[in-house]
């Protein structure tokens, strides 16, 4: 059962974590916030804003409890919202004592490297978090537009409808509208794949392909997502809904999309390392492309766009050569 007095904790120090704190802070009496950087915590305590991400967003310091001890925030929170890149999640919570009795909400768009697991499976199999205590936040929504208070929509997915409604209610405000779903696995896998297809969009933009081709690319991308989801988690879902198609569109086209930006740099000839250094932000799609490879292969689904991105990033194939090969697979 969900209690209106549940204490909320946000784990992560990046843009999306900062945006989630902004959404929550007007709807709850206080927000617990964990980040690894002690200097960032001290800065927020003194100045009321994150020094590194969405620094224009200011917070009421009286409503914030800041932590650098993962177990302290777990102890003092009932609903924990995770917003940490999937590639770093294991290290971030490696010293956690456990999550017994806690509700876990994932705002992570990735697969655990080396585990071949999305976040729902990871918390269930490694930490014993039952499905009824788990939820997923999905877009389409960029943190930068939350900071600007531009109208945005979120979907909260959980097989526990009460938990989904609770979290949806606490994230809603005058510029943020929410809906609920029970498709945890579909929204998680779709969120992983849309970052990879945003890389493809960026690569093609960097190579000089225009809007006409981008429309064809993304039309084919949503079909790949549909086929994959129907194979790995076959339930009735509307792939045209905002949690699937909408999230793909905003990530593939938006100026705020770090995955599109990363792909654009690869298309222009940057190496992976140089693109990562210049961005100074994590493009989840880069890690997800490798982490989901075995799942894609086991599914047996024909996914030529995904394969092209994998070959470019991990087999070091020429972006232009791979996209030229891809052209005959699109319709």
**What pTM was estimated for this model as a whole?**
0.92
Q: How far apart are CA 142 and CA 263, in angstroms?
A: 17
Taking the C-alpha atoms of residue 9 and residue 70, their distance in angstroms, rounded to an integer, is 10
d(CA 176, CA 17): 15
Q: At what angle do helices 184-206 and 211-232 cross, to 10 degrees?
A: 150
The answer to whether the CB of 185 falls within 8 A of the CB of 232 is yes
Residue 152 has a pLDDT of: 95
Active-site option among 22, 102, 109, 194: 194
In the residue annotation, 76 being an active-site residue is answered as no
Q: Which stretches within the chain are classed as H helix?
A: 15-25, 38-47, 70-75, 86-92, 119-127, 143-147, 161-171, 184-206, 211-232, 247-253, 258-267, 272-279, 284-291, 293-299, 304-314, 319-327
CB-based contact 231:300 (threshold 8 Å): yes
DSSP annotation of 318: -
Contact 281, 258 (CB under 8 A): yes
* Cα pseudo-dihedral 316, 318, 322, 323, rounded to 10: 130
Q: What are phi and psi of 37, to 5 degrees?
A: -80, 115
Question: What pLDDT shows up at residue 1?
Answer: 41
Category of 190 on φ-ψ map: left (φ > 0), alpha (ψ -120 to 50) or beta:
alpha
Cα–Cα nearest to 151, from 165, 135, 140: 140
Phi, psi of 214 (to 5 degrees): -60, -40
Instruction: Name residues of the chain where pLDDT drops below 70.
Output: 1-4
Contact 186, 225 (CB under 8 A): no
In whole angstroms, what is the distance from residue 306 CA to residue 302 CA?
A: 9
Distance between CA atoms of 18 and 57, rounded to whole angstroms? Answer: 8
Among left, alpha and beta (phi > 0; psi -120 to 50; other), residue 129 is beta
pLDDT at residue 246, as a whole number: 96
């Amino acid at each position: 059962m969900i209690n209106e007095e549940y204490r909320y904790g946000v784990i992560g120090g990046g843009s999306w974590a900062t945006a989630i704190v902004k959404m929550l802070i007007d709807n709850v009496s206080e927000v617990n916030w964990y980040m690894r950087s002690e200097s960032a915590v001290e800065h927020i305590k003194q100045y009321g804003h994150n020094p590194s991400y969405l620094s224009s967003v200011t917070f009421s310091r009286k409503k914030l409890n800041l932590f650098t001890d993962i177990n302290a925030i777990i102890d003092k929170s009932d609903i924990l919202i995770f917003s940490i890149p999937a590639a770093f999640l294991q290290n971030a919570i490696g010293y956690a004592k456990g999550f017994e009795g806690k509700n876990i909400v994932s705002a992570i768009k990735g697969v655990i490297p080396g585990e071949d697991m999305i976040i729902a499976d990871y918390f269930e199999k490694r930490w014993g978090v039952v499905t009824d205590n788990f939820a997923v936040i999905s877009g389409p929504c960029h943190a930068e537009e939350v900071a600007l208070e531009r109208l945005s929509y979120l979907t909260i997915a959980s097989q526990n409808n009460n938990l989904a409604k609770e979290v949806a209610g606490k994230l809603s405000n005058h510029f943020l509208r929410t809906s609920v779903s029970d498709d945890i696995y579909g929204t998680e896998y779709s969120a992983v794949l849309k970052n990879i297809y945003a890389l493809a969009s960026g690569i093609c933009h960097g190579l000089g392909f225009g809007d006409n081709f981008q429309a064809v690319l993304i039309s084919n991308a949503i079909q790949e997502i549909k086929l994959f989801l129907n194979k790995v988690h076959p339930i009735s879902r509307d792939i045209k809904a905002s949690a699937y198609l909408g999230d793909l569109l905003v990530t593939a086209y938006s100026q705020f999309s770090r995955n599109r930006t990363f792909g654009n740099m690869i298309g222009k000839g940057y190496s992976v390392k140089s693109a990562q250094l210049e961005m100074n932000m994590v493009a989840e799609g880069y890690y997800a492309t490798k982490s989901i490879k075995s799942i894609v292969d086991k599914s047996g689904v024909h996914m030529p766009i995904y394969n092209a991105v994998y070959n470019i990033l991990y087999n070091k194939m020429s972006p232009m050569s791979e996209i030229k090969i891809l052209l005959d697979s699109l319709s």
